[in-house]
Amino acid sequence: MPDQKIQLFYGNRGLLVNEAAEAAVQHALGETERSLGYERFSAAELVRDGEEVSLRLEALLNTLESPSMFSDRVVVRIDQAEQIKKGGGRSGGPNGAALFETILRRIAAPPEHLWLVLTSAAGRDSELSQPLLKAAKQFGNVQRFIAYDNDNPSDWVRRRAGGKGIRISPQVAGMLIRVVGNDVGDLDQELEKLSLLHPDASELTEAMVAEAVQGHRHFSVFAMVDALAQRDLRKALDVLQQQLEQAPREHVRLYMLVVQQFRRLLLISSMLESGKPQSDILKKLGLPGFIGKQAITHARQFKYAELTRVYALLGKMELRLKFEAELAGVLLREIFGNICRKTR
């Protein structure tokens, strides 16, 4: 851990951002009792207007400027740092402006007693105040934790599992990621659950993972894509309706999961058409055995020409989904109907 008095951690990997911030706090506190030398604030709350907010902001500003009566050093953590902006953040009022000016000044010249830790869920640099980001890089330590849609944190899953006293193979880790997604916070929760369910297991199996993740919020999406691959239109539509009600803005993510599945089925179908044996196909896919065999079974449900047609339809639908969000439900149902319709 760099011995820096100013730390900024940001990105869409919330678990890693929080863990880095906690490590920085602990490092800065040293032997100081947490209750005596640590304070935590939310910038989103501090930039609002109102007498109560002004009093809380005043308490923060005093902490930043003056040493504590009880501790030689004070660590201040401020979350949602994307709200610390020159214009006053979300509200654009005097509280936000005062917060910005003070934080920027203290980043450049922190008092002897002060250690400052900033966190943000911002996925892009442009979401942060550029003067603040520049100052943090110049006078402190900045770390960015970003996950992209195609990230595959298999190594992280295996290390994290080891830290919880359980072993997981690359294949089973891949299965867990495919069902749960690549958000390390979600993956950590599932690994914690698995460590509690199977404390004596020498190694996690596909069956253990499949049983454990059924309650996860992404499992129903997995079931939806699986239903499409089996041409079970009713089940696919039921899950789609549930997903759109719970998260109406995630229609593009649902669409991309369907595209990913049918791209794989098209590849498998092409290999089947060329006469490749199942063992070679499984090796080419690089999927866990259970999932790979299931994918081959699903591919056999379609003719190669059907999969080519479906994939072409998915390609045509992409722009409409992105720019006609209000029609997402209708468009996705139309796609699902086309996928499940058998051609002669």
pLDDT greater than 60 at residue 342:
yes
Provide the CB-side half-sphere exposure for 207 (13 A, CA).
2
Listed range (72-86, 112-126, 228-242) with the worst mean pLDDT: 228-242
Q: What single letter denotes the amino acid at residue 147?
A: A
Distance CA 74, CA 36 (A): 8
Task: Enter the tokens of residue 116.
Answer: 């400052």
pLDDT greater than 70 at residue 220:
no
Long-range pairs of 152-156 with CB within 8 A, sequence gap ≥ 24 = 152/177, 152/182, 153/177, 153/182, 153/184, 153/187, 156/184, 156/187
Check residue 177 and give its pLDDT: 84
Question: Each residue of 17-49: pLDDT tens digit?
Answer: 999 999 999 998 887 777 788 999 999 988 887
pLDDT greater than 50 at residue 1:
no
- Number of other CB atoms surrounding residue 203 within 10 Å: 12
Task: Find out whether 218 and 179 touch, Cβ atoms under 8 Å.
Answer: yes
Buried b (16+ CB within 10 A) or exposed e, 290-320: bbbeebbebbeebeeebbebbeeebeebeee
Check residue 332 and give its pLDDT: 84
Check residue 287 and give its pLDDT: 66
Which residue do the tokens 């059924």 mark?
Answer: 214
Residue range(s) occupied by CATH 1.10.8.60 in the chain: 154-215
Check residue 176 and give its pLDDT: 87
pLDDT greater than 80 at residue 266:
yes
Task: Find out whether 167 and 161 touch, Cβ atoms under 8 Å.
Answer: yes
Mean pLDDT rounded to a whole number for the chain: 84
pLDDT greater than 90 at residue 319:
no
Position with higher pLDDT, 246 vs 168: 168
Check residue 145 and give its pLDDT: 92
Question: Each residue of 164-216: pLDDT tens digit?
Answer: 999 999 888 988 887 777 788 888 988 998 998 898 888 999 888 878 776 55
Distance CA 296, CA 156 (A): 28
- Number of other CB atoms surrounding residue 41 within 10 Å: 18
Check residue 78 and give its pLDDT: 95
Listed range (234-243, 281-290, 312-321) with the worst mean pLDDT: 281-290
**Over residues 49-66, mean pLDDT:** 84
Looking at 3.30.530.20, 3.20.20.70, 3.20.20.150, 3.40.50.300, the CATH number of the domain 6-144 comes to 3.40.50.300
Check residue 289 and give its pLDDT: 67
Q: What is the pTM of this model?
A: 0.60
Check residue 295 and give its pLDDT: 83
The topology (CATH level 3) of 219-340 is: Zinc Finger, Delta Prime; domain 3 (1.20.272)
Q: Phi-psi bin for 165: left (phi > 0), alpha (psi -120 to 50), beta?
A: left
The topology (CATH level 3) of 154-215 is: Helicase, Ruva Protein; domain 3 (1.10.8)
SS (H, E, C) the chain: CCCCCEEEEECCCHHHHHHHHHHHHHHHHCCCCHHHHEEEEEHHHHCCCCHHHHHHHHHHHHHHHCCCCCCCCEEEEEECHHHCCCCCCCCCCHHHHHHHHHHHHHHHCCCCCEEEEEEECCCCHHHCCHHHHHHHHHHCEEEECCCCCCCCCHHHHHHHHHHCCCCCCHHHHHHHHHHHCCCHHHHHHHHHHHHHHCCCCCCCCHHHHHHHHHHCCCHHHHHHHHHHHCCCHHHHHHHHHHHHHHCHHHHHHHHHHHHHHHHHHHHHHHHHHCCCCHHHHHHHHCCCHHHHHHHHHHHCCCCHHHHHHHHHHHHHHHHHHHHCHHHHHHHHHHHHHHHHCCCC
Listed range (20-24, 96-100, 217-221) with the worst mean pLDDT: 217-221
Task: Enter the tokens of residue 195.
Answer: 């460590």
pLDDT greater than 80 at residue 9:
yes
Residue range(s) occupied by CATH 1.20.272.10 in the chain: 219-340
Among 52, 12, 97, which residue's Cα sits nearest to residue 89? Answer: 97
Check residue 96 and give its pLDDT: 86
Question: Each residue of 113-164: pLDDT tens digit?
Answer: 999 999 999 989 999 999 999 999 999 999 999 877 667 788 999 999 999 9
Residue range(s) occupied by CATH 3.40.50.300 in the chain: 6-144
Provide the CB-side half-sphere exposure for 280 (13 A, CA).
8
**Over residues 324-331, mean pLDDT:** 77
pLDDT greater than 50 at residue 3:
yes
